[in-house]
Amino acid sequence: MSLSDLRREYALAGLQESDLDPSPFKQFDKWFQQALTAGLPEPNAMTLATATPDGKPAARIVLLKGFDDRGFVFFTNYESQKGRELADNPHAALVFHWVELERQVRISGRVGRVSTAESETYFRSRPLGSQLGAWVSPQSQVISGRKVLEDKLEDLTHRYQNTPIPLPPYWGGFRAAPDALEFWQGRPNRLHDRLRYTLQSGGRWLIERLAP
């Protein structure tokens, strides 16, 4: 089968303006809970797109670790490629694709670091191996081989045996505060439903339908 023959017809559900909550965060929570109930694998996996100041884009999958009406939170090494790009150009886009539900959510907005206290709380909730991994990996940097990581992990495992692992000073969370969110529901004949929230002055959200 060729790529041009790969097709899927979308027919599970529709999305009407009357279906939407006035708050995009409550609407996201509704869809996210449905993704959880459906047992989707890693429903919190999202594409994070960043760009350099001169517009060179990059994208990767990261995991959503919290959301509320302030925005969407993920954690990373601040010295990684995405961390450096967000420091230089604090705007990003997020995409959730829940293929089994024939849904996407697109989010764009400004990104800033969460507080050190928030990063500390989340870091403490991580498995010990993940805490050590944050110290082991010079994320996005060139290394000579995997043994560099394995040797450092062994060393740090002994060093922090029976000792709390501190939060690395270069590791923590980002919060994407959206100014636009689009909810996409697949429909037959590629006439998909696309409903977008756009932030207005005074904190009001404008809901508009987009052509598919």
Local confidence pLDDT in tens for the 212 residues of the chain: 788 888 888 989 999 999 999 999 999 999 999 999 999 999 999 999 999 999 999 999 999 999 999 999 999 999 999 999 999 999 999 999 999 999 999 999 999 999 999 999 999 999 999 999 999 999 999 999 999 999 999 999 999 999 999 999 999 999 999 999 999 999 999 999 999 999 999 999 999 999 99
> Do the beta carbons of residue 60 and residue 82 sit within 8 Å?
yes
Q: Tell whether 131 is covered by a domain.
A: no
Q: Tell whether 87 is covered by a domain.
A: yes
Domain count, the chain: 1
What is the rounded distance in angstroms from the CA atom of residue 80 to the CA atom of residue 86? 10
Read off φ and ψ for residue 136, nearest 5 degrees: -70, -45
Q: Is the pTM of this model over 0.85?
A: yes
Instruction: Report helix, strand or coil for 37.
Output: helix
pLDDT, position 4:
84
Q: Tell whether 104 is covered by a domain.
A: yes
pLDDT, position 104:
98
Spatial neighbors of 69 by CB under 8 A, at least 6 apart, are 23, 25
pLDDT, position 117:
98
What is the rounded distance in angstroms from the CA atom of residue 58 to the CA atom of residue 4? 26
Q: Tell whether 151 is covered by a domain.
A: no
Structure tokens given for 167: 């939060």
Q: Which residues are catalytic?
A: 190
Three-state SS letters, 88-155: HCCEEEEEEEEHHHCEEEEEEEEEEECCHHHHHHHHHHCCHHHHHHHHHCCCCCCCCCHHHHHHHHHH
pLDDT, position 1:
79
Spatial neighbors of 140 by CB under 8 A, at least 6 apart, are 77, 79, 80, 81, 82, 84
pLDDT, position 148:
97
Q: Radius of gyration (Cα) for the chain, nearest Å?
A: 20
pLDDT, position 114:
98
Kindly report the CATH number assigned to the domain that includes residue 72.
Answer: 2.30.110.10
Q: Tell whether 21 is covered by a domain.
A: yes
Range of the domain at 81: 8-125+170-210
pLDDT, position 24:
98
Q: Tell whether 153 is covered by a domain.
A: no
> Do the beta carbons of residue 50 and residue 85 sit within 8 Å?
yes
pLDDT, position 73:
98
pLDDT, position 8:
87
Q: Tell whether 95 is covered by a domain.
A: yes
Q: Tell whether 3 is covered by a domain.
A: no
